[in-house]
Amino acid sequence: MQLANFSAAMTGNQTFELAGRPAKYTVLYFYPKDNTPGCTTESLAFRDHLDQFTALGAQVVGLSRDSLRSHESFKAKLGLPFELISDPEEAVCNQFGVMKMKNMYGKKVRGVERSTFVIDADGKLVKEWRSVKVNDHVDEVLEFLKTQP
């Protein structure tokens, strides 16, 4: 599936642009919120395996609705060596269809469904995981990338 081009603000005073990325693959992971247990664990797993992603020609980028300021703090706190996209207006979240009604402490809330997408250099979606469970997810993504040409 070919994705529409988009650009979005990200940490490091950079702008993410889907078109023209130098990486063979982009691993774009959507997570609900900075500094929460699951999101911290997931981000640390991507950080700890970044060398393996890089060796496979993949760029890792995280995305949530948090502000750039929150992202910069989260990135520094965890020592994340990759950038985080800020999507407070939910434009990218809506493009990927990750906004869902969820139960939180017995209440219905609208939030980001933890999801990961692998996008090739031409902007084509080649794999997606939705309703991601954090444990072993990064290994699943790496295993998929190892099967790609």
Q: Could you list the active site residues?
A: 39
Phi and psi at residue 115, in whole multiples of 5°? -145, 155
Instruction: Please report, as a single letter, which amino acid is at residue 90.
Output: E
**Residue 6: exposed, middle, or buried by beta-carbon count in 10 A (0-12, 13-18, 19+)?**
middle
Side-by-side strand order, sheet with 115-120: 14-17, 7-10, 84-86, 58-64, 25-30, 115-120, 125-129
